[in-house]
Every structure is written in structure tokens, then in C-alpha cells.
């Protein structure tokens, strides 16, 4: 049990949040506006992968728009914008975080289907189905985030006129509402996507290491490997530390079984891991860059390629790789038929 003498000092978080959120606002606003512009105005060929990436960029941008209010709050340590705006800010925060996790998972599953099951997944991997999946993701993350706004989100700070936003909830509130929300978002929004990302990436790597792919199209294979590496690093770096700490933080706030040394460690780690998680707004465009050759060409302003090369490069790397793989399989089938 938590002792009543445990230190609860964590005021350093306000300075940390103010600095990190300011940088994330500037970088995230620029990067995601550029990404959305490329997806909507530059790409001539759109497919299911770009559909997921566009929704991911929109999710990031919606969250970025709420950051100025949060930055003011962390600097002034007072929330003057009312309870409704606090609810919207918190809802968009969790919608962005777990929306990002789920959309990154969609990209990982789509790559898995394209490379591991190219024939069977042909009818599944369509733009229409991708839009249906994106709608399901939005509904899921809103269903998990909206309940956080069902109760009073602003409270007075130490009986003063200053108000807090989504802080200093009582033990009863944590036990009655917040702990249940944490359980839902951790299972649906983190653990299941984590398992899917690791499993899909492992299966893709196994497929790439099969004999008929080892000597074929090494350039595309290296690009796919780089894409998987970047994807997993960003996923694990941004989301794993925060979600593990969130579980411990929830146990601490519900007065479960944590001692004072753990309380101190969790209160220190929670703001740090939260800042890392928020930075995913800036890292997601890196996923776009490594996933699509067209985005790389747009950023480099390399428009001097021949028309047929441009059409080919507008497909994601995994599409180019699997197209070559299909040609290889067809050649093998043809060779085997000719020997009968």
C-alpha cells in the first residue's frame, strides 16, 4: 500500500511539458501540414496505404491544434478556458495517441498482407476497405477517449482561484472511472496493436529471407527492411514507455500495492514518457517518408524522372517489391510447366 508520507512533488513537469509541447507544436504543425498537402495535392496515385497515412496525419494535426492551450496551461499553471475546452483537449490527446497506434498498425498489417499473402489479400487490400477500416479506427478511439469527458475535468488548485485541467483527481474518481478507461485503452489501443505489429513484422522478415527473395531485387528488399525498422523503432520508442508507465501510474493513483520508492519513480517517469509519446506527431512523417517513394521525391523536388518511372514510384515500396516477387513466382511456375 502507498504510505501517506510518500512525496508527491512533481512540479518539474510543468516546465518540461511547456518546452517539449512548444517544440512539438512547431515541428508537428509544419510536418503534418506538408504531409497532408502531399497526400491531397501531389500524389497522383492513392491506395490503401496512403489512406491510412492521410488519416494518421489528420489525427496528428487535430492534436497539434490543441497544444497552444496546453502550453499556456503549463506556463501559467492555470486553466482559464473552461471545462468544455479541457474535455476537448484531453479527448483529442488520447484520440491522437491511440489513433496513431492503430493507424500505424493498419500500415503494418497492410504491408504484411501485400508481402506474405499477395494473392489472397488482393480483394481485401482495396481503397474502399481501407476507408471502412479508418472509420472503424476513429469510432474505436473516440469510444475509448470520450468517456474521459463524462465527469468534471477542471478542479480548483489547493483551494485557490487557479484551476487545473485533467489533474489531481481523487482516489474515488480513479477507482470508479479512470482505471476502467485505462484498462480499455491499454488492451484495445496498445497491447493488441503491439502484438499485431511485432507479429506482422516478423512474418514479413521471414518471407523476405526465403530463398527466392534473397537474390531478387535487393534494392527494394533493403527499402522494405529499412521501412520495418523505422516503423518498429518509432512505435516502441514513442508508445511502449508511456503505456507501461500509465499502467503503473494508474495502480499508484488507485492506491493498489505500490510503495514510496515506486511512487517517486513513477511520478518522475510519467511526465518524461508522456513527452516522448506526444512527440509521435513529429515522428509519424518519418514513417510516410520511408513508406512512399513519391513522398521522398516530393521532398527532394526531384521531378525530372521519366513518366513511367514516376508511375512506378508512386506505389509504396512494399507494392514495388511484391510486384517483382509476383513476377518471380510467375517465372518459376512457367519454368516448372515447361519441364513437364
SS3 for 123-175 is CCCCHHHHHHHHHHHHHHHHHHHHHHHCCCCEEECCCCCCEEECCCCCHHHHH
* Segments of the chain with pLDDT less than 50: 1-3, 214-215, 302-315, 317, 321, 326, 328-340
Contact between 62 and 94 (Cβ < 8 Å) = no
The confidence score (pLDDT) of residue 195 equals 96
Residue 217: the pLDDT is 59
3-state secondary structure 44-95: CCCCHHHHHHHHHHHHHHHHHHHHHHHHHHHHHCCCCCHHHHHHHHHHHHHH
Query: What cell was used for 313?
Result: 514510384
The whole-number pLDDT of residue 274 equals 94
Closest by Cα among 142, 150, 149 to 95:
142
Domain 12-332 coded CATH 1.20.1070.10 = yes
Q: What confidence score (pLDDT) does residue 172 get?
A: 79
Q: Residues 89, 66: contact at Cβ < 8 Å?
A: yes
How far apart are the C-alpha atoms of 109 and 115, rounded to whole Å? Answer: 10
Q: Name the phi and psi angles at 190, rounded to 5.
A: -135, -60
Question: Of 60, 55, 79, 59, whose CA–CA distance to 69 is shortest?
Answer: 79
- Tell whether pTM > 0.85: no
Domain spans of the chain, in order of start: 12-332
Angle at 254 between CA 253 and CA 259, to 5 degrees: 70
Amino acid at each position: 500500500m502507498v504510505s501517506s508520507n510518500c512525496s508527491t512533488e512533481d512540479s518539474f513537469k510543468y516546465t518540461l511539458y511547456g518546452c517539449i509541447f512548444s517544440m512539438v507544436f512547431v515541428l508537428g504543425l509544419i510536418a503534418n501540414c506538408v504531409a497532408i498537402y502531399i497526400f491531397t495535392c501531389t500524389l497522383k496515385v492513392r491506395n490503401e496505404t496512403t489512406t491510412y497515412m492521410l488519416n494518421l496525419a489528420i489525427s496528428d494535426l487535430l492534436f497539434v491544434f490543441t497544444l497552444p492551450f496546453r502550453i499556456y496551461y503549463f506556463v501559467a499553471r492555470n486553466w482559464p478556458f473552461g471545462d468544455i475546452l479541457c474535455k476537448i483537449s484531453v479527448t483529442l490527446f488520447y484520440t491522437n495517441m491511440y489513433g496513431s497506434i492503430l493507424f500505424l498498425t493498419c500500415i503494418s498489417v497492410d504491408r504484411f498482407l501485400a508481402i506474405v499473402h499477395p494473392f489472397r489479400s488482393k480483394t481485401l487490400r482495396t481503397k474502399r476497405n481501407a476507408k471502412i477500416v479508418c472509420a472503424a479506427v476513429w469510432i474505436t478511439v473516440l469510444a475509448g477517449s470520450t468517456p474521459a469527458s463524462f465527469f468534471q475535468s477542471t478542479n480548483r488548485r489547493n483551494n485557490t482561484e487557479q484551476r487545473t485541467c485533467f489533474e489531481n483527481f481523487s482516489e474515488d474518481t480513479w477507482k470508479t472511472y479512470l482505471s476502467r478507461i485505462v484498462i480499455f485503452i491499454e488492451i484495445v489501443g496498445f497491447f493488441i496493436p503491439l502484438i499485431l505489429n511485432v507479429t506482422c513484422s516478423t512474418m514479413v522478415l521471414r518471407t523476405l529471407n526465403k530463398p527466392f527473395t534473397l537474390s531478387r531485387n535487393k534494392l527494394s528488399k533493403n527499402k522494405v527492411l529499412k521501412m520495418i525498422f523505422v516503423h518498429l523503432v518509432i512505435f516502441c520508442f514513442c508508445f511502449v514507455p508511456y503505456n507501461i508507465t500509465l499502467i503503473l501510474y494508474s495502480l499508484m493513483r488507485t492506491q493498489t500495492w505500490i510503495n514510496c520508492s515506486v511512487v517517486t519513480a513513477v511520478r518522475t517517469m510519467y511526465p518524461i514518457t508522456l513527452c516522448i509519446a506526444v512527440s509521435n506527431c513529429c515522428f509519424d512523417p518519418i514513417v510516410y517518408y520511408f513508406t512512399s517513394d513519391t513522398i521522398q521525391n516530393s521532398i527532394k523536388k526531384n521531378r525530372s524522372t521519366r513518366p513511367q518511372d514516376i508511375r512506378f514510384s508512386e506505389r509504396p515500396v512494399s507494392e514495388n517489391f511484391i510486384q517483382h516477387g509476383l513476377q518471380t513466382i510467375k517465372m518459376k511456375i512457367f519454368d516448372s510447366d515447361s519441364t513437364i
